[in-house]
Amino acid sequence: MSVGRRVLVAGGGGFIGGHLARHLLAQGHEVTVADVKPLEEWYQALDGADNLVLDLERPEACEQAADGVDVIYNLACNMGGMGFITANRALCMNSVLINTNLLKVARDAAVEQYFYASSACVYPDYRQQDAEVTALKESDAYPAMPEDGYGWEKLFSERMCRHYLEDFGMDTRVFRFHNVYGPYGTWDGGREKAPAAICRKVIEAQENGSYEVEVWGDGLQTRSFMYVDDCITGIDLLMQSDCQDPLNLGRSEFVTINELVDTVADIAGVEVKRRHNLSAPQGVRGRNSDNTEILEKLGWEPQIDLRTGLEATYEWIKEQYERRKAGDSVVQ
């Protein structure tokens, strides 16, 4: 984008949205951030942005948030780790209201570009039943059988973007995020994803002297994890491109959850025992990103290796943990 555009980051009080809003401000854009959470619960409430506390499931809130903007980034949704999305399918589905309302507002206001943050959860379970996973291509989303609740919401919202492009000529862009992690994200309370949860558990295991970490499942399930800086770079490149089809955005490197635990423990400089909880939510058996299309269309793929990203993430979560222990108020 040319410098000085007026942009809305919907869901900017959350993890990825907060990083994106900071990046757009640094680029010289005029940034409005909207999120349903109270301002004190935002991970990054940024000076220089117009920070609005709004329920974007309501049409009038979307109209207020998008007033006068040139570009909309929609990262707003109800989501969390596997424990949260399996227990809150209806709540996750409600997020279709956000994307529908924002698309209607964007069409009526002739917004120049519209970005939608989708997820690898759109991919069918029947393609993800083996830990020795075959990397998921964009075309693998159909025939559809996505993650129940959250995955269906994401796939439906992708289709909405497609039809607004086809029917109204809106310039819509879609990325399917694969397990984004990093600082300034949820790390406790039930919505955290695996990298943050494991970092916290290793810290807790040292604190309580058990040196034991609970792992959901047998730990042999495989995933790819992408550091948040790569996510922001990818969004930038997509918005500068002419690609209007959904693309994967994730690392092609994948690991088992057991290996994830071992990496975090090594960063912490300790050895931990793994206690496997086979009754806990585990999600699909294996998931990885096929990056053929993003390389062809953007000439780039996520670059930051897991160890490097986890080092920064662990240190930030450790700092937050110590601050909470000392009685400080922290967003978790």
Q: Is residue 1 in some structural domain?
A: no
Pair 219, 163 in one domain: no
Which one of the listed residues 116, 150, 181, 314 is annotated catalytic? Answer: 150
Q: Judge whether 13 lies within some domain.
A: yes
19-71 pLDDT tens trace: 999 999 999 999 999 999 999 999 999 999 999 999 999 999 999 999 999 99
In this structure, is residue 186 part of a structural domain? no
Q: Do both 123 and 88 map to the same domain?
A: yes
What is the chain's pLDDT, residue by residue, as a tens digit (332 residues)? 667 899 999 999 999 999 999 999 999 999 999 999 999 999 999 999 999 999 999 999 999 999 999 999 999 998 888 888 899 999 999 999 999 999 999 999 999 999 999 999 999 999 999 988 899 999 999 999 999 999 999 999 999 999 999 999 999 999 999 999 999 999 999 999 999 999 999 999 999 999 999 999 999 999 999 999 999 999 999 999 999 999 999 999 999 999 999 999 999 999 999 999 999 998 899 999 999 999 999 999 999 999 999 999 999 999 999 999 999 989 98
If asked whether residues 233 and 285 sit together in one domain, one would say no
Q: 331 lies in a domain?
A: no
Please give the pLDDT value at position 82.
84
- Determine contact, residues 116/246, Cβ cutoff 8 Å: no
Shared domain check, 136 and 258: no
Q: In what order do the strands lie in the sheet with 50-53?
A: 50-53, 30-35, 6-10, 71-74, 113-119, 172-177, 247-249
pLDDT of residue 1: 64
* CATH number of residue 206's parent domain: 3.90.25.10
pLDDT for 332 equals 83
Residues 6+ apart with CB under 8 A from 325: none
Q: How far apart are CA 129 and CA 190, in angstroms?
A: 25
- The answer to whether residue 215 is domain-embedded is yes
| Domain-embedded: residue 330 | no
Same-domain status, 101 and 69 = yes
Q: What values do phi and psi take at 186, rounded to 5?
A: -65, 130
Question: What is the number of structural domains in the chain?
Answer: 2
Residue at 132: amino acid letter: E
Say what the pTM is. 0.96
54 and 98 assigned to the same domain: yes
Q: Which pLDDT score, from 0 to 100, does residue 81 have?
A: 84
Nearest to 208 by CA among 325, 314, 81: 325
Question: Is 73 among the residues known to form the active site?
Answer: no
Within 10 A of 124 (CB to CB), how many other CB atoms are there? Answer: 19
Within a domain: residue 149? Answer: yes
Kindly state whether residues 159 and 16 are assigned to the same domain.
yes
CATH number at residue 83: 3.40.50.720
Do 167 and 19 belong to one domain?
Answer: yes
Same domain for 277 and 204: yes
The torsion region of residue 63 among left (phi > 0), alpha (psi -120 to 50) and beta comes to alpha
pLDDT at 76: 97
Residues 115 and 212 both lie in one domain: no
CA distances from 81 to 97, 118, 190, 219 (A): 21, 15, 7, 16
Beta bridge partners of 247: 175
Is the same domain home to 144 and 269? Answer: no
161 found inside a domain:
yes
Which residue segment(s) compose the domain that 199 sits in? 194-223+254-325
Whether residue 231 sits in one domain with residue 217: no
